Each structure stands twice: as structure tokens, then as C-alpha cells.
Amino acid sequence: MKIRLKPAAERAVRGGHPWVFSDSVKSESRQGQLGDLATIYDRNDKFLAIGIYEPESPIRIRILHKGKPVQIDAAFRRQRFLKSINRRNHLFGSDTNGYRLINGESDGWPALVLDRYDDTLVLKIYSTYWLTLLDELSATIVDLLKPDHLVLRMSRNIQALAAEQSNHSDGQMLIGDVSDPVLFSENGICFESHVRAGQKTGFFLDQRENRQRVEQLAEGRTVLNCFSFSGGFSLYAARGDATSVADLDISQHALESASRNFSLNEDDTRVSSCPREQIKANAFDWLKDNPDRRFDMIIMDPPSLAKKKSERKGAICAYQQLTRVAIGILASDGILVSASCSAHVRADEFFSAIPSTAQASGRAFKELDRTLHAPDHPASFPEAEYLKCIYLHFD
Ligand code: SAH
């Protein structure tokens, strides 16, 4: 089908933006259906781009290619595949076998993610468009990456439609058979990942570099890891010679996973000898209700606090509230590490909200660092930029 766009959207697509919103479509040659490819022509009737058409979605077209006309076929996808893999070739040493191989739109693969956990790969799709291509994608993955296992994950919003349209389901094995959890290594630390039923693809691979930074800063510090999930930051802190680590999470499953991850690494005496505490609580309440506790380092990595644009302001207030209470129990010479994965809160807003809250506390501090995306999680357009993290060192 042929599509024409309103001028601003035409400019955006020309500039490389991978999404066309429904209100940016000026005309369609016919009623499009899910799975159609939409060819976008510019105001001079020249080919501009081609993308996945999604009739029900506010993101009406997800661009697959712009520039000169091309055939979107298996050979095209194989080339794209190689490009994504090659991009990661030299990023990690042999002690890291958990990382992202394809990061959606930012790698030219709209609504598709591929993560590696050692010899298990997890393909996560966010659009039913990919369902009919799964056999081809599996074959390409086997050919190029030779995994023992390939798991299919689907975002919640497409699961019902996928069940109607196909016999595919979330957590299904596409190649081999594996049960949760699988084990993998991140910078020499062994972790479990719940690839078939866990959040995302089973683990938060995007915080690897921040965890390393925490390891460098943790020596001699008592550490509180808020929103700890499977204890990623805590393990790095323990290996970095933290005096103690406390995991705080609302979920018992998360805390149990953290304990298993510590057990997996007990050969490392720095990990096995580090005193641990687990706190099952709502972080907002616990931080407020325990003003007499003290920690030399507090890590804050909450889940997304703004699922919609309209929740942006509330999310910023929540980050500020967490920062205020954390500073209240941060010891002198203490470090606050505060991360945000809310895409609707921009990095500049976050990087201004946290220091201004710190300033209002009246305590002197200096900023150590600001970080953005991990190298295997490139973000090629503003909406893809979700992760930011700031490090503040208080007197
Ligand atoms: N820091 C983690 C990822 C955090 S994911 C890592 O490095 O892997 C978010 C975690 O926050 C989940 O484990 C979830 O159970 C927990 N969570 C969500 N709301 C919470 C709350 N109000 N208080 C404490 N934990 C919460």
C-alpha cells in the first residue's frame, strides 16, 4: 500500500525517525491490514521509506528502511542481522556472555529484541508482524549464531492477538528445550535469567556498565540496593569489597533470585564473605519509616515510574521523593546512585531533578558521573532513550 505523510512527519522519516504516528498519515491508497508493508512516497511522489503497517496502533508505521527502494526479503533481513551482530563483536570479553544482540528500532529491527544468555537466545517481539517470519528468523539465527536454545517472548499487548492468529505463545521454545532459570556470566559474575517467564527477557542487561561503576565505588561501604531485583548491583558491590550489602525489593521472588545469585558466586570469597541483609518492603515506605538506618552507598533503580506521557510529572516527583528520603539515611562521605528507566522522563529533566533535590537537602555534594545507554543497547531516536543514571558523592 502507498502512504503519504504530513510535512513534519515526512521530514522526521527523512531524518531517520523510525515511527510514523497515526495522526501524521495524510493519505493511504487502500485500507491497510496488519502485516502489510506500507510504502511511503514523498510530496514529489518519490520513494521515501518502507515500513510495517499496524492498523490499530498509534504508531501506524514502523520504518524498516528509508532511502533508495529495496526488496524487503530474507536476504535483506540476513544483512541486517549481520550488521547487528557485527556491531557487538568487540564489545565484551569472554567473561561476559549475556548481552543484547538486537535492540529494536535502534538496530533497524522495529519491535524486535534479541538477547543472549550464554547458549540460550531470547527473541522478544512487540508486534505480531514478526509472527509469520519466525521460521525464517529462527533459521537465520541458527545459521549465524548456532545457539542451543531459542526462546520466543512476546509483549503482553500482542499475546492475545498472537493466540488468535497463530499457534505461537509467550515463552515457547523455537529451538531446543530449556527450563528457567538459565545461567550466564556478566563480567565474570554468574547470574540466573528467567528467560521463559521472567520480566523483559529474564534479566536487566542494560545496567551492566552501571553495576561495574558501583563495583569500583563500593570498597569499604555499607550498601543499600533499592529495587534490587535479582541482586545485580549487590553482587558487584560485594565483589568490590563492600562492607555489607542490603537488597530491598517488594517481591519475594526477586529476593530469592538474589540469594540464588549470591550462592552461584560463593567461590568468590569477596562475595561469600560479604554480610547480606534482605528487606522485603515497598521502598517508598521503608526509606521513610527507617530514618535511623545509615548506609554509605544507596542505589536506586526503580521500575519505570511513567508508563504514559501523562505520568511524567508524577514520576519526576517520585524520583525526587526517593532522593530526599535516601539522602536522609545516607552516611557522611556517602554515594547516591540514582537511575531512571522511564522513557517519558528525559535525561535532562532527570539530571536536573536529582541534583536540585540534593541541593535542597542542604548537604554539600559533588557529582561524580552521569551515564546513559549501555553500548549493546544503542538508542537512535529520542523515544528510545530511556536509561539515565547519576552518581552523587555527599560530604
Ligand atoms: N536494579 C535491578 C532492576 C530493577 S527492576 C537490576 O539491576 O537488575 C525493578 C524492581 O523493583 C523489581 O524487582 C520489582 O519487584 C521492584 N519493585 C517495584 N516496585 C517496588 C517498590 N515500590 N518497592 C520496592 N521494590 C519495588
Rounded average pLDDT over 228-236: 98
Q: How far is CA 20 from the centre of its chain?
A: 22
Determine whether the shortest distance from the Cβ of 236 to ligand 1 is under 6 A: no
pLDDT at 199 over 90: yes
Alpha-carbon gap, residue 204 to 191, rounded angstroms: 11
Rounded average pLDDT over 26-49: 93
Q: Do residues 131 and 114 make contact, with C-beta atoms less than 8 angstroms apart?
A: no
Determine whether the shortest distance from the Cβ of 327 to ligand 1 is under 6 A: no
Q: Is the dihedral of CA 23, 25, 31, 33 positive or negative?
A: negative
Rounded average pLDDT over 2-25: 97
pLDDT at 158 over 90: yes
- Highest CATH level, class, for 74-184: alpha beta
Determine whether the shortest distance from the Cβ of 282 to ligand 1 is under 6 A: yes
Q: Is the dihedral of CA 129, 132, 136, 142 positive or negative?
A: positive
Residue with cell 550488521: 83
HSE-CB for 31 with a 13 A CA cutoff: 1
Q: In what order do the strands lie in the sheet with 98-103?
A: 98-103, 112-117, 120-125, 149-154, 173-175
Alpha-carbon gap, residue 55 to 32, rounded angstroms: 6
- Identify the pLDDT of residue 204: 98
- Among residues 343, 352, 341, 328, the alpha carbon closest in space to that of 382 is found at 343
Best of 236, 250, 260 to mutate for ligand 1, by most ligand atoms within 8 A of CB? 250
- Identify the pLDDT of residue 100: 98
Q: Identify the helix (H) or strand (E) that includes residue 143.
A: helix 134-145
Alpha-carbon gap, residue 95 to 355, rounded angstroms: 35
Q: Measure 69 CA to ligand 1 centroid, in angstroms.
A: 45
Rounded average pLDDT over 362-383: 98
pLDDT at 310 over 90: yes
SS3 267: coil
Which residues are CB-contacts of 252 (< 8 A; sequence separation ≥ 6)? 280
Determine whether the shortest distance from the Cβ of 199 to ligand 1 is under 6 A: no
Backbone angles phi, psi at 7, to 5 degrees: -55, -45
- Identify the pLDDT of residue 33: 87
Residue of the CA atom closest to atom 13 of ligand 1: 229
Alpha-helix runs per DSSP H in the chain: 7-14, 74-87, 134-145, 156-165, 208-217, 232-239, 252-264, 269-272, 283-289, 312-328, 347-360
Per-residue model confidence as pLDDT tens digits over 248-300: 999 999 999 999 999 999 999 999 999 999 999 999 999 999 999 999 999 99
Q: Measure 112 CA to ligand 1 centroid, in angstroms.
A: 24
- Identify the pLDDT of residue 56: 86
Rounded average pLDDT over 356-380: 98
Ligand 1: nearest atom to the Cα of 254: 13
- When pLDDT is cut at 50, 70 and 90, the band that residue 203 belongs to is very high
Q: If you ran DSSP here, which 8-state letter would residue 302 be given?
A: P
pLDDT at 196 over 90: yes
Q: Do residues 190 and 183 make contact, with C-beta atoms less than 8 angstroms apart?
A: yes
| % of the chain at pLDDT higher than 70 | 100
Alpha-carbon gap, residue 121 to 99, rounded angstroms: 10
Q: Measure 47 CA to ligand 1 centroid, in angstroms.
A: 46
Between the alpha carbon of residue 249 and those of residues 205, 253, 278, 283, 326, the distances in Å are 18, 9, 8, 7, 15
**For 195-218, what is the HEC assignment?**
CCCCCCCCCCHHHHHHHHHHHHHC
pLDDT at 15 over 90: yes
Residue of the CA atom closest to atom 15 of ligand 1: 251
Q: Measure 283 CA to ligand 1 centroid, in angstroms.
A: 9
Q: Measure 311 CA to ligand 1 centroid, in angstroms.
A: 18
- Identify the pLDDT of residue 34: 85
Determine whether the shortest distance from the Cβ of 225 to ligand 1 is under 6 A: no
Evaluate whether the domain defined by 204-394 bears CATH number 2.40.30.130. Answer: no
Determine whether the shortest distance from the Cβ of 186 to ligand 1 is under 6 A: no
Q: Is the dihedral of CA 322, 343, 347, 245 positive or negative?
A: positive
3-state helix, strand, coil in the chain (%, to 5): 35, 30, 35
Determine whether the shortest distance from the Cβ of 191 to ligand 1 is under 6 A: no
> Residue 132 has which C-alpha cell?
509469520
- Provide the greatest CA pair distance for the chain: 69
**Extended beta strands in 97-220, E state:** 98-103, 112-117, 120-125, 149-154, 173-175, 182-186, 189-193
pTM, full prediction: 0.96
Q: Identify the helix (H) or strand (E) that includes residue 366.
A: strand 365-371
Residue with cell 548537604: 363
SS3 175: strand
Query: What does the CA dihedral 65, 67, 71, 75 come to, rounded to 10 degrees?
Result: -60
Residue of the CA atom closest to atom 12 of ligand 1: 229
Q: Measure 226 CA to ligand 1 centroid, in angstroms.
A: 7
Mean pLDDT of the chain: 97
Residue of the CA atom closest to atom 21 of ligand 1: 282
Q: Measure 204 CA to ligand 1 centroid, in angstroms.
A: 11
Q: Where are the domains of the chain?
A: 2-66, 74-184, 204-394
- Identify the pLDDT of residue 325: 98
Backbone angles phi, psi at 106, to 5 degrees: -65, -15
- Among residues 133, 305, 303, the alpha carbon closest in space to that of 204 is found at 303
Q: What superfamily in CATH does domain 2-66 come from?
A: PUA domain (2.30.130.10)
Rounded average pLDDT over 347-356: 98
Rounded average pLDDT over 359-368: 98
Alpha-carbon gap, residue 191 to 211, rounded angstroms: 13
pLDDT at 35 over 90: no
